[in-house]
Amino acid sequence: MSTLKSQYEQIVSKSICLMDGGLALMMQIARSQVAAAVAIHSRFEKNAQQRAISSLEYINIVLLGEDEEIGDICERVRRIHDGVQGAEGDESYSTSDSELQNWVAGTIYWG
């Protein structure tokens, strides 16, 4: 796993990946529910680079990892997002909302 971590760090250091990550984030927060959840529940503004590394780690493990690694990272992400819900104005949000999950996943794929 340490080899994978160094690969993520190398990837993140390349500006094109950071631009793609920034594009994905901008597309994600274009949905008002996602923007509210990020604004209220996320700490990404304090350490955006670590957030990018964590996202790349997730994507790479899901695509390239062994079954146990995939299960572990999916459980970790589920625990982090578990219970994130609320409302901002007229918009409610929840990380269990499959439409919002698909939106976020789609921005990562497209970005």
List the one residue out of 41, 62, 39 whose CA is nearest residue 108: 62
Structure confidence at residue 68 (pLDDT): 96
Contact 36, 91 (CB under 8 A): yes
The DSSP secondary-structure symbol of 86 reads E
Mean pLDDT by 10 residues, the chain (111 residues): 62 50 78 88 78 78 87 91 88 89 79 48
